């Protein structure tokens, strides 16, 4: 392999795949904690739903 100082596409793809795998691992670690929090306090879903509604309403007003 000739070293030219330029990154090859395989190196770029390897980095992208590594980032995706790290994101998946973080999601797998945090998912049980998030589900446990929702199970212990179902009101969190309504709070998240209200926040999403408020953001949607504010965006509709500015358009």
**Distance between CA 41 and CA 63 in Å, rounded?**
35
- Residue 33 placed within a domain: yes
Residue 54 covered by a domain: yes
* Helices and strands in the chain: count of H runs, count of E runs: 2, 0
Quick one: pLDDT band at residue 52, thresholds 50, 70, 90? low
> What's the rounded Cα separation, in Å, for the pair 22 and 32?
17
Q: Is residue 32 part of a domain?
A: yes
Q: With 0.75 as the threshold, say if the pTM is over it.
A: no
For residue 31, the enclosing domain spans 9-62
- Tell me if 2 is assigned to some domain: no
Task: Domain count for the chain, please give it.
Answer: 1
User: Within a domain: residue 41?
Assistant: yes
pLDDT tens-digit profile of 3-19? Answer: 565 668 888 899 999 99
More confident residue, 19 or 40: 19
Is residue 1 one of the residues assigned to a domain?
Answer: no
Instruction: Give the position of tokens 């999601």.
Output: 27
Per the domain annotation, does 39 fall within a domain? yes
* DSSP sequence for 34-52: HHHHHHH-THHHHHHHHHH
């Amino acid at each position: 392999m000739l070293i030219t100082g330029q990154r090859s596409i395989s190196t770029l793809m390897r980095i992208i795949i590594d980032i995706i795998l790290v994101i998946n691992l973080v999601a797998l670690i945090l998912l049980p904690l998030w589900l446990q929090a929702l199970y212990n306090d179902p009101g969190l879903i309504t709070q998240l739903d209200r926040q999403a509604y408020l953001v949607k309403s504010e965006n509709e007003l500015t358009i």
